[in-house]
Structure 1
């Protein structure tokens, strides 16, 4: 766990922000998706049940309207005068004219109502007449079950489905499953005595067409049971005959889920108050699940697309937040390498913009402090140089005058003039009207003047040579950078050796800098001391009092002016000699005119 936390803490801010954003988005989307699917599943089931019940009600209304219309037709037939007269006949058959008139009336109704297959009139005496219907055997129709049931309930119209086993048939070739019978008793309005029964056979085509126009889901269906639990109408489907009546709870309306042949089915029913029929709708649960599965698939697709878009937006917005931070980090890296001229440019005033402004202010303060320190160090070095010059001038002037006196005794006046001329050049160039930079030509001349004076003292001890290319003379260097080093070569190199020594002063161009080399074949420097001196020159170690200030003063002046990439490096072999190398930038000074 700690390793994981350490790994997490070491990740970039952008990575952490992206992970946090994606985690929040995933939790939100997955929670909404899971909750939405569950809610929609429950809601869709309820809506499907409500929709199915509405369709059942609609079918029920259409069927009731159809049956009620036929009941009205049956009632009109029973109220017809010819039919009423026929019902009151006792023991005598109707005449052919009477039969023809009744047949004409019945034909009129069958022609107007194509669903009527046939109509039969039977009075209590057993006399009957019909249109497209006939008695199968000679047995009296009065003894038929449908006739007796109608006598027992004269105020009701009985509906008989699948009329099997009766002594009546029609001239049309239909099976009992395609027939629905309506039975209605004819009552004397004055005596309320039952006079007979009107039997009407109907085709199931009308009811079938109503059901065929209704679709429950993709593979659902509807069927009808009568009050005895017999099937009034059902489509061709073996599931119908596997539904047991005991599954259906009591009540006029309800629903349940039942497994049939290994599949779950949703069963909904509603009872008709008009016909005492039960209208039942059956829908496979697979139809429900198919819709829910489609919704789940669409939800997953939308979720995936949303996550992808959210990831892109998260990457974009975190990029806009991290980009200025990375820019600030890059600037800090440059500042770390010494590039203090960097500045953070921000177009916003948010926390990052304020941080950038503070960064800029910090750099301004650092630059100001560096300038202050530089000016203080420069003034300090100038003061040290002035002190050095003040120390050198009286001592050097004394020795020079002593030499002049000695030469006046030993040599002729021309030599004295040469030394005095060299001394004059030395002072003139050294002062240089207070200017810090002088041409290479003047710096070399200053060094030559110094060597002329020293040669007058160490003629048998010292020899020197200048090798300076002419094209370097026009460039400018800091003044008095060669003379202190030549002086060190004389006093610490040549004087410490036995015999005559030689000093060589040369220069060459290396890329964009001038490299001066002062080489002597004197005593050399021990390796440990050489390394210590170079460390002091590189700024890796503090200078101790045992070392003079001339060498280090020249090095510090160059580095303070041009940077640590320039300055002095010493190479030496003990007993063989020393080379002091000066690296100075190539500087062109344009003189102002006017």
Structure 2
């Protein structure tokens, strides 16, 4: 018994899914790994870039501070061995020239230990009396070995100058009247120089630079007014002397880096906007998703192509198998596709060819068997009728009816001549009717003209062929079971109807009951005790040759008649 698997995937779809799954997994994994590596690299790049920017800014400030220190050292070196009283004009020129050469230097002063101006531009009288109290002055005298950078911007002490400056001071020695004395060198730097250095650095949108002193006090911010991020940046960097942090300031992703200037101990805080890098990461994600979609689409196309290449020959072979399973053994088998499929097709072709041979052999055997069975059934009729006829001839002879004996013997000879018909199984309807009429002639003599008969055929059907000896047993049955003491009538009618040759044999008489008809049908089918060998013989021969296309039907009208109708399929070529 054949069973059809349920919910089973086809081989083509299975191959398609397998290839697609492998390709999709590889593409997704490679994309995820690439994305993870890139994201990590990007984070490292963000930190490295922000750190490098901070270092570059620190280097710029260190360079600038070093240039200021070099200027101070140059003034000291140029003033070496020059006496303030003796070489006052030359010293004034040295100080003035260094102030004039550098645009960011507002003024250069030399003060004695009490804060009195010795060299430098004129000062306001009030300011001149307060120099000794200035932080830059006292710090220089306290720590004489280093330069002091005053963190808090202040107005220049030079007369008629209002620039905001940063004071750079250092304790120095000078000659005055041949005596070495201690004083303070002051260089005023324009505060805008700090802003100019900050503006040279590109920190992105919202990016800014802070300068804190060693105590964390805010000295400078490059953020434009209003300063919405300076306070937050200052708070984050206040306790950080070296290193970096990430923070969200005013909705922007900022990377904070802190470095300390060597000479001033100021902290340079840079806040870099890394949103653009995040945007680049988002663009990368979009590109990766697009590449992933395209890769999967290409994988789908490739998987579909490979699947079709493999499954199409298999499907064609399957369709051919189904046709052959349905009985079409001549269905063409395509020997194409991959080598394994071609070998399978070749093997299947060989198997089908062998099946054809076996079926042809079986058909031949069945034909021979059917012929043998037909001959055996036909041979059952001839002895049956012969015995009955010989009994009739004996009876006629005993009653001195010589003419009837002659007529019976002649009709018997003609009867058997047609029965033999040179070994043919099928004979023209005309011969079959003649055969029946010879039989009726014999039976009418035997029954002393107790019945009459008539034959009517549709025009044009006499030349059509039917299996021989199919009417005589039916007529014989009609005589034996239908003719009584009164005169009877047997009518034989023939017609062509619905692709069948139809013979109806009707006899008058008492008729038969429905129960008897059912019994006769059972006898024809091979069951029960046969009370009519002839009708069963005809039925079995028709079924043996034509199968279910042929049939015998029995009908009866009580006290009137009984009709046996034969339906015989017309063989091809006989319709016209």
Superposition TM-score, scaled by structure 1 size: 0.72
What is the distance in 2 between the residues matched to 1:580 and 1:488?
Answer: 12
| Equivalent residue, structure 2, for 1:383 | 372
SS of aligned partner of 1:580: strand
1:521 Cα offset (Å): 1.8
- The answer for the alignment partner of 1:227 in structure 2 is 214
Q: Equivalents in 2 of 1:532, 1:444: separation in Å?
A: 28
User: 1:389: how far off?
Assistant: 5.0
- The corresponding residue for 1:281 is 270
The answer for the alignment partner of 1:579 in structure 2 is 565
Q: Which residue of 2 aligns with 1:58?
A: 56
How far apart in 1 are the matches of 2:411 and 2:125?
170
Rounded to whole Å, the distance in 1 between the matches of 2:191 and 2:16 is 72
* Structure 2 stretches lacking a partner, 5+ long: none
1:325 and 1:352 in contact (8 A); partners too: yes
Residue 451 (structure 1) shift: 2.0
In structure 1, how many angstroms separate the alpha carbons of the residues matched to 2:346 and 2:527? 40
User: What is the aligned partner in structure 2 of residue 569 from structure 1?
Assistant: 551
User: Which of 452, 462, 471 is matched with 2:437 structurally?
Assistant: 452
Deviation track 1:325-349 (CA, whole Å, cap 9, x = no partner) reads 5545544443443333335435234
Match of 1:5 in 2: none
CA separation of 1:208 and 1:582: change in aligned 2, threshold 3 A? farther
Shift of 1:444: 1.6
Identify if the C-alpha distance between structure 1 residues 262 and 374 changes in structure 2 by more than 3 Å, giving closer, same or farther: closer
- Measured after TM superposition, the shift of residue 217 of structure 1 is 5.4
* Match in the other structure for 2:84: 89
- Encode CA deviations 1:297-356: one digit per residue, 9 max, x unaligned: 555555455555555655565555554555455444434433333354352346655555
SS in 1 for 2:71: helix
Aligned to 1:488: 473
Deviations 1:450-470 (A, max 9, x none): 123113124443534353553
Q: 1:239 to 1:11 in 2, by over 3 A?
A: same
SS at match of 2:46: helix
Aligned-CA RMSD value: 4.7
Q: Distance in 1 between matches of 2:220 and 2:7?
A: 76
CA distance in 1, matches of 2:179, 2:434: 167
Shift of 1:122: 1.1
User: Residue 592 of structure 1 aligns with which residue?
Assistant: none
* Structure 1 position 519, deviation (Å): 1.1
**Other structure's SS at 1:118 match:** strand
Are the aligned partners of 1:494 and 1:521 in contact in 2 as well (CA < 8 Å)? no
Whole-angstrom CA distance in 2 between matches of 1:280 and 1:66: 17
Contact kept? 1:219, 1:287, Cα under 8 Å: no
Kindly state the Cα deviation for residue 294 of structure 1 after the two structures are TM-superposed.
Answer: 4.8
Q: Are the aligned partners of 1:122 and 1:141 in contact in 2 as well (CA < 8 Å)?
A: no
> How far is 1:134 from its partner?
6.4
Tell me the equivalent position of 1:109. Answer: 101
Is the CA contact 1:182–1:199 (under 8 Å) kept in the aligned structure 2?
yes
In structure 1, the residue matched to 2:198 is 211
Among residues 368, 392, 402, which one is paired with 1:409 in the alignment? Answer: 402
- The one-character-per-residue Cα deviations of 1:46-76 (angstroms, maximum 9, x if unpaired) are 3211121122122222332333334333433
Is 1:347 the counterpart of 2:339? The answer is: no
CA 231–494 in structure 1, closer or farther in 2 if over 3 Å, else same: farther
Distance in 2 of aligned mates of 1:168 and 1:197: 14
- Choose the corresponding residue for 1:242, options 225, 229, 232: 232
CA distance, structure 2, for counterparts of residue 360 and residue 504 of structure 1:
52
Aligned match of 1:141 in 106, 122, 131?
Answer: 131
Structure 1's 132 and 242: CA in aligned 2 closer, same or farther, altered over 3 A? farther
- Cα offset, 1:580, TM superposition: 1.4
Using the alignment, how far apart are the partners of 1:283 and 1:201 within structure 2? 27
Please state whether the residue corresponding to 2:330 is helix, strand or coil: coil
Deviation of 1:373 (Å): 2.4
Q: Residue 431 of structure 1 aligns with which residue?
A: 423
Q: Distance in 2 between matches of 1:429 and 1:148?
A: 156
Say if 1:135 and 1:20 are closer, same or farther in 2 by CA, change over 3 A: farther
Superposition pairs for residues 461-480 of structure 1, below 5 Å?
461=451, 463-470=453-460, 473=463
Residues 215 and 400 of structure 1: is their aligned pair in 2 closer, same or farther, counting only changes over 3 Å? farther
Contact 1:18/1:318, CA 8 A, preserved across alignment: yes
Which residue does 1:76 correspond to in 2? 74
Q: Quick check: 1:133–1:168 contact (8 Å CA) kept in 2?
A: yes
Q: Give the alignment of 1:171-210 within 5 angstroms.
A: 171=160, 173-174=162-163, 176=164, 179-187=165-173, 194=182, 196-205=184-193, 207-210=194-197
Cα contact 2:553–2:565 (8 A) shared by 1? yes
Which structure 1 residue ranges, 5 or more long, are not aligned? 1-7, 537-541, 590-594
Specify the alignment match of 1:334 in structure 2: 323
Q: Is the 8 A contact 2:256 2:271 kept in 1?
A: yes
- Are residues 1:120 and 2:108 paired? yes
